[in-house]
Amino acid sequence: MIYFDNVSKIYRDGTPALEDITIAIQPKEFVSIVGHSGAGKTTLLKMLLAQERPTAGSVFFQDIDVHALAASAVHFYRRKMGMVFQDFRLIPNKTAYENIAFAMEAAGRPDDEIESDVPYILNLVDLGSKANHFPNQLSGGEQQRVAIGRAIINQPDVIIADEPTGNLDPINTYEVIEILKKINELGTTVLITTHNKGVVDAMGKRVITMDRGRVIRDDQQGHYIL
């Protein structure tokens, strides 16, 4: 479903970021990408999101050659993916409900769907009782769960989470990971980057370890070994 085919990336200033990466990720996999800062994890995600172009090689998503897409098609292509960020990126003056509903409005979904889907998703991320709370009335973990709700509300094929627990304490980290696992079990592919050894080791899922732009390990039931 996701295929990095001999992908290399050298940034315009000459910095090498990826060297000959070949990775295949199947539908419904849960994959953690780990590695030191500067290893190339974010660059890899940017390739998939069509935010950066490879210097060599190709990236495929389903049957789409990502970097052959016309500029006008990139916006629609990205709707196949739900993004989760370390810093949550919620709209501060909108409630949990409104933050999630806004993503549906932006995608042009009708009001009756919004009214039925948002409460369902709020329950899925265990925030049914906090629908009317603003981000500053929620813990970091709760904010991240709103962000996950927003990422899945338009039924993407894959959730891409860049250090989703980077700003969270261990209890909130655990809750966020449990939600990501639940979403994965319901059938969505999940791709996360993380530095968190505990998260990776508890997961028992595939771990791809990167170092200086290369994949140095790819374990089906991996541990964090750096």
Q: Given the rule CB under 6 A, which residues bind ligand ADP? A: 11, 13, 15, 17, 35, 37-43
Q: What minimum distance in Å lies between the beta carbon of 127 and ligand ADP?
A: 29
Residue burial 153-162, b: 16+ Cβ < 10 Å; e: rest: bbebbbbbbb
Alpha-helical regions (H) of the chain: 41-48, 71-78, 96-106, 111-124, 140-152, 170-185, 197-203
Nearer of residues 99 and 194 to ligand ADP, judged by Cβ: 194
Nearer of residues 41 and 145 to ligand ADP, judged by Cβ: 41
Dig out the tokens for 58 from the structure.
Answer: 């190709």
Nearer of residues 21 and 118 to ligand ADP, judged by Cβ: 21
Nearer of residues 57 and 119 to ligand ADP, judged by Cβ: 57
Q: What minimum distance in Å lies between the beta carbon of 164 and ligand ADP?
A: 14
Please return the burial class of 118, using the count of CB atoms within 10 Å of its CB with bins 0-12, 13-18 and 19+. Answer: buried
Q: What minimum distance in Å lies between the beta carbon of 215 and ligand ADP?
A: 12
> Going by C-beta distance under 8 Å and a sequence separation of 6 or more, which residues neighbour residue 186?
none
Q: What minimum distance in Å lies between the beta carbon of 186 and ligand ADP?
A: 28
In the sheet that holds 189-194, the strands lie side by side as 81-85, 158-162, 189-194, 30-34, 206-211, 214-219
Q: What minimum distance in Å lies between the beta carbon of 193 and ligand ADP?
A: 6
* CA terminus-to-terminus distance, the chain: 28
Question: Could you give the CA distance from residue 9 to residue 153 in angstroms, rounded to a whole number?
Answer: 32
Nearer of residues 37 and 116 to ligand ADP, judged by Cβ: 37
Q: What minimum distance in Å lies between the beta carbon of 162 and ligand ADP?
A: 8
Nearer of residues 38 and 156 to ligand ADP, judged by Cβ: 38
